[in-house]
Chains A and B, each alone.
Chain A
């Protein structure tokens, strides 16, 4: 009898324990009007967390909660009814996907993908990615950083293949920082954030490597949400973004 019970319990565990969402931060429910729920691209994790703190300091009583992830994943969640007040996407494509919830948006920053590598590895040229001995990773094709990587690599004539297509840029950055890969197609902001042990090679076609970040407010959001967007677009907000390596709103 006891074994039967154990087996039943175990089989239940076996079949439920398999899936796990790797979203950073749980999706928060807006408890009151003064909570702003911001869905933001993975690459904004550090910068937006900082902006959130500054915004809260300037607006006592207003709380900003974040859910960071691949813009394509977040867009999917917003379409499925996730309680979002503000969406900051790493591409126009993902913002367009939520046009029903967020009809209007403004570009607040730009970023560009580069080939990030540990200084100790001394990558010489981007064409090293073709060698096969250099193990490199990038974001998956539908994620903005992956789409930009695909375009930039193609323009560069790279035919080598990565060893992994990661679900978001944070996952790429983590594996580069852990020293598990020789190089990664990653945003310049991530290379800067990774510190002096990492360096970047720029793609020759800067336009292809660049992605623009739109931000928009949900039709259901409160006025506090618009205030947060205004803050991101304000000179003090832009200062934080440019310090992290982001390009300006233009």
Chain B
């Protein structure tokens, strides 16, 4: 996969640099405000630790659920009948380009006290999902799973159909082919999808706020803590932001250096 060296137009280069700056400068500006010498103190406050706990636990569970549900879904999209997948795929992927507050409203109309399913649950059990930690997880799955499905479907498509067919002619049943051939060959993509779904769930703000509210220790996640802290304690907001930027860069770095290679190559 080596490319011939090609001369690059100066105009394109200039535009490219401008594009880079649009992304780079805000991040650098943010880093100048981070109180590095007090970072540890800022990041040991109770409100931060509470938000960290909520974010880490909910995003990890959300990513796990997205994995369990998303991998078979991605496999179906890659191998299922085209007339079905053509309709199903846009629906599955749509939360990816949906404004988060709309996602939150959609979840509320399904699982709220007056929601399609939520009403039944509330009437039977007097329990409703909104404003609970479960709601944070649900929101995370809703916004995170599309990323996983997109990447994993693409990984399954890279698995040669002939290999699967050969395994089948040698006597492996479809289930065995899936677990012993398709999944191992697509594992790089599955890992990438998992990390992306987790990162997306970790960063979610609008859907969570609309659907789960914002209660310290229960539903207030790190992004909400940043929003809140900005008014009360900007130093804390900058500190948490620095941490989240670090997580974001790490994720991209991992995906680039290892995970993408694993499933592209």
Residues in A lying within 8 Å of B, measured CB to CB? 1-4, 6-8, 10-11, 13-15, 17-20, 22, 70, 72-73, 76, 135, 137, 140-142, 162-167, 171, 175, 178-181
Question: What does DSSP make chain B's interface, helix, strand, loop or mixed?
Answer: helix
Within 8 A of A (CB), among B197-248: 199-200, 202-206, 209, 212-216, 218-220, 223, 227-228, 230-232, 248
Q: Residues 170-209 of chain B: 1 if any A CB is under 8 Å from the residue's CB, otherwise 0?
A: 0000000000000000000100100010011011111001
Asked if A180 and B112 sit within 8 Å, CB to CB, the answer is: yes
Is B121 part of the binding interface, using a Cβ–Cβ cutoff of 8 Å? no
Other 12 A-B pairs with CB < 8 A, given A7-B255, A163-B131, A165-B220: A8-B256, A10-B151, A13-B96, A18-B223, A20-B100, A142-B231, A163-B213, A164-B131, A164-B212, A167-B209, A180-B108, A180-B112
Q: Which of A6, A17, A73, A166 contacts B154 (CB 8 A)?
A: A6
Within 8 A of A (CB), among B127-183: 128, 130-131, 143, 147, 150-151, 154-155, 157-158
Tell me, rounded to whole Å, the shortest Cβ–Cβ distance linking A116 to chain B. 16
Asked if B205 and A20 sit within 8 Å, CB to CB, the answer is: yes
Asked if A11 and B196 sit within 8 Å, CB to CB, the answer is: yes
Q: Which of B1, B114, B206 contacts A179 (CB 8 A)?
A: B114
Tell me, rounded to whole Å, the shortest Cβ–Cβ distance linking B232 to chain A. 5
CA distance A73 to B232 in the complex (A): 10
The total of interchain contacts (Cβ-Cβ below 8 angstroms) comes to: 124
A-B contact pairs, 26 of them (CB 8 A): A2-B154, A3-B151, A3-B263, A6-B151, A6-B154, A10-B150, A10-B151, A11-B252, A13-B147, A14-B196, A14-B199, A17-B96, A19-B203, A19-B205, A20-B100, A22-B101, A70-B231, A135-B128, A141-B232, A142-B228, A163-B215, A163-B218, A165-B213, A166-B214, A178-B108, A179-B113
Neighbouring B residues of A8 by C-beta, 8 Å: 256, 260
Q: Which of A3, A18, A142 contacts B203 (CB 8 A)?
A: A18
Neighbouring A residues of B99 by C-beta, 8 Å: 20
Asked if A180 and B209 sit within 8 Å, CB to CB, the answer is: no
Is B264 part of the binding interface, using a Cβ–Cβ cutoff of 8 Å? yes
Q: Which of A7, A73, A162 contacts B231 (CB 8 A)?
A: A73
Asked if B213 and A175 sit within 8 Å, CB to CB, the answer is: yes
Asked if B255 and A167 sit within 8 Å, CB to CB, the answer is: no
Closest 7 CB pairs of A and B: A18-B203, A164-B213, A20-B206, A163-B131, A3-B154, A14-B200, A15-B248
Tell me, rounded to whole Å, the shortest Cβ–Cβ distance linking A134 to chain B. 12
Neighbouring B residues of A20 by C-beta, 8 Å: 99-101, 205-206
Name, among A8, A137, A164, A165, the residue most crowded by chain B CB atoms within 10 Å (CB to CB).
Answer: A164
List the B residue with the shortest CB-CB distance to A72: B231
Asked if B214 and A140 sit within 8 Å, CB to CB, the answer is: yes
List the B residue with the shortest CB-CB distance to A172: B213
CA distance A24 to B86 in the complex (A): 37
Is B106 part of the binding interface, using a Cβ–Cβ cutoff of 8 Å? no
Asked if B203 and A180 sit within 8 Å, CB to CB, the answer is: no
Tell me, rounded to whole Å, the shortest Cβ–Cβ distance linking B212 to chain A. 8
Is B31 part of the binding interface, using a Cβ–Cβ cutoff of 8 Å? no
Neighbouring B residues of A165 by C-beta, 8 Å: 213-216, 220
